Amino acid sequence: MTFPVLVNAALLATAAAVEDAGAATMGAATAAAAAPVTAVLPPGGEDASAAAAAGFAAHGAMTEAMLTQLTMIRGLFAQTLAASGVSYVAEDAINEATLAI
């Protein structure tokens, strides 16, 4: 037995817009934080301080790369939501046309 799937296209479009705006905000925040996170100065002049600062800078660079990927994934999710909304509306129109015959 099949059940109808009720989808509000306007709700999906709004959700896609919210996710897209969130991805843009994440991208801007990540870009703004890139310099302070990756440019760590050593606290002292000895080799241990330089090594620690280099380790923190490398960790910051990995964090920035991960956040960039997460921002891209969130943008793809927004595009998927938008495409799903369009697909559901098209399928509903086809179903309505089929039932009207």
The whole-number mean pLDDT for each consecutive block of 10 residues of the chain, a chain of 101 residues, reads 68 88 92 89 91 94 94 92 85 84 69
pLDDT of res. 3: 64
Asked whether the beta carbons of 30 and 63 are under 8 A apart, the reply is: no
pLDDT of res. 96: 83
pTM (two decimals): 0.73
In a domain, 82, yes or no: yes
In a domain, 73, yes or no: yes
Q: What is the dihedral of CA 81, 83, 85, 87, to 10 degrees?
A: -140
In a domain, 32, yes or no: yes
Report how far residue 13's alpha carbon sits from residue 83's, in angstroms, rounded to the nearest whole number. Answer: 9
> Can you give the CATH number for the domain in which 73 is found?
1.10.287.850
Domain count, the chain: 1
Report how far residue 11's alpha carbon sits from residue 70's, in angstroms, rounded to the nearest whole number. Answer: 24
